[in-house]
Amino acid sequence: MYRQAVILLFIAATALAADPPDINAHVVLPDLKLHPSLKDSNVNVQAPLLDSGTQAELPNSGAQAPTAIPDAREEMSDSGDEEPLPDLGAPNWKCDPAVMAKSKEVPKSVHSVRFADIKVVAALGDSQSAGNGANSSKLTSLRTEYRGLAFAIGGDTTLDEHITIPNILRKFNPDLFGYSNGAGVWNEWNVSRLNMAVPGSEAKDMIVQAQRLVEVLRTRPEVNITDDWKLVHIFVGGNDVCQYCHDWRKGRKSAHGPDTYKANLVKAIQYLKDNLPRTIVSLTGMINIEVLRPVDKHNLVCKGLHFFYECNCEFQKRKTRKVCFDYMEVQREIQDQGIFDSSDDFAFVIQPFTYGIERPPLTDEGRPDLRFFAPDCFHFSKFGHSNFAKHLWNNMVQRVGAKSTSVELSNVNSPLLCPPKNCPLFPTKKNSRNCKKYLTPSKLDV
């Protein structure tokens, strides 16, 4: 068995890296230095987004963007001879019509926004938000970014077949704009849309992604940047933790401590606040990456991949756990300190369901449920994206101060919740304390 694992690891190494990869880069990492057109944040320049099927040089990168990749909806698995990969949908899901209705008039306050009032969705993040490996059954296709399957921003198929936040929101507003379809890189417009996530990104890269997002929104005729209510998801931190631990192992002072992580997040969110009116930023909480340890225990190939080619930080148990929880703490500080509470057209909310997750999803026999993971046992599979999206949504509809801080990922049959009838608004700090103050009539009200 050991010999077989070594052979498989050698094959994986050949497939994953022509050059030795950076320890924190799960896949090829484009240079994220500021694009020249973004040096002046007030410059309104067309972003270098591609139509599907064309090539263009990535900003400040020596590589070229790959040509269009087949739509993930059509590529059910990496080989036509294989069984389709498992997925998780919510067939025939619906809520009370009063909960799903739009406001009678477009809300002026962020604290009065109903879920159906959201017109635009976007995402910043790393390879999880880019959907790396989500529809892969082979290690050789882990580089493929299946953005249409990504939990927070994917729009492939429908909610009946695959759970994502946009697929849920389209039940409330069929005209939702910005979600990703298919597979491709961040600047491939027909695929990515408003998904700015780049594999390998850290918190310091969120400012560049935020600038790119604003640049795109200023140029898209489908978006009224002043009047449309926008929901921007952020999920980042795994690469920061890996780099922090890598620095620690090398005896170096790290630039990835919790205070720096916090400062980088605040910088990006502040940029969004300054440049995107009528916006809600939803931060998916940091997850303790130590939950991967039981997966590695049962899979030598994944253990080898994580040690040599992905994040070997998980093997430093105490150090990993501490920095993950330190990141969680500074995320809470951003919300609790009210840094972004000064405006009625912008809100920042943490979805903390990840904070208490202490183990990976398990089978009935108590072994890690590998349906949740791509072949590297690190990235989410499309089944994992669906399960994660369900718990994210359920957190989103809970009021601030009463959100779940732990979920059981093994329970794939847990229901998809509806917004509460007595307060069908997108929960913010203020309307969570006093919903009646901000509740305005819906289109169904006489």
pTM score of the predicted model:
0.83
CA separation for the pair 211, 218 (Å, rounded): 11
pLDDT digit string, tens, across residues 173-206: 999 999 999 999 999 999 999 999 999 999 999 9
347 has which bridge partners? 280
Give pLDDT, residue 139.
84
**Contact assessment for residue 203 and residue 240, using Cβ atoms and an 8 Å cutoff:** yes
Q: Stretch 375-396: mean pLDDT, rounded?
A: 96
pLDDT at 70 exceeding the cut of 50? no
- Higher-pLDDT residue of 315 and 299 is 299
Q: What is the token pair recorded at 369?
A: 């449920």
3-state SS string over the chain? CHHHHHHHHHHHHHHHCCCCCCCCCCCCCCCCCCCHHHCCCCCCCCCCCECCCCCCECCCCCCECCCCECCCCCCCCCCCCCCCCCCCCCCCCCCCHHHHCCECCCCCCHHHCEHHHEEEEEEEECHHHHCECCCCCCHHHCCCECHHHCCCCECCCCCCCCCCHHHHHHHHCCCCECCECCECCCCEHHHHCCECCCCCCCHHHHHHHHHHHHHHHCCCCCCCCCCCEEEEEEECCHHHHHHHHHHHHCCCCCCCCHHHHHHHHHHHHHHHHHHCCCEEEEEECCCCHHHHHHHHHCCHHHHHHHHHCCCHHHHCHHHHHHHHHHHHHHHHHHHHCCCCCCCCCEEEEEECCCCCCCCCCECCCCCECHHHECCCCCCECHHHHHHHHHHHHHHHCCCCCCCCCCCCCCCCCCCCCCCCCCCCECCCHHHHHCHHHHCCCECCCC
CA separation for the pair 79, 75 (Å, rounded): 8
Give pLDDT, residue 310.
55
Say what percent of the chain tops pLDDT 90.
67
CA separation for the pair 367, 189 (Å, rounded): 40
Closest C-alpha among 25, 197, 31, 41 to residue 121: 197
| Cβ atoms within 10 Å of 265's Cβ, excluding its own | 24
Give pLDDT, residue 295.
75
pLDDT bin (cut points 50, 70, 90) of residue 80 is very low
Q: Stretch 59-87: mean pLDDT, rounded?
A: 45
pLDDT digit string, tens, across residues 244-285: 988 877 778 888 999 999 999 999 999 999 999 999 999 999
Average predicted confidence (pLDDT) for the chain: 83
| Cβ atoms within 10 Å of 257's Cβ, excluding its own | 17
Q: Stretch 366-395: mean pLDDT, rounded?
A: 95
**Contact assessment for residue 272 and residue 41, using Cβ atoms and an 8 Å cutoff:** no
Q: Stretch 68-93: mean pLDDT, rounded?
A: 62
Reported CATH class of domain 2-41+95-438:
alpha beta
Give pLDDT, residue 432.
98
Question: Which active-site residues does the annotation give?
Answer: 127, 240, 379
pLDDT digit string, tens, across residues 116-161: 999 999 999 999 999 999 999 988 888 999 999 999 999 999 999 9
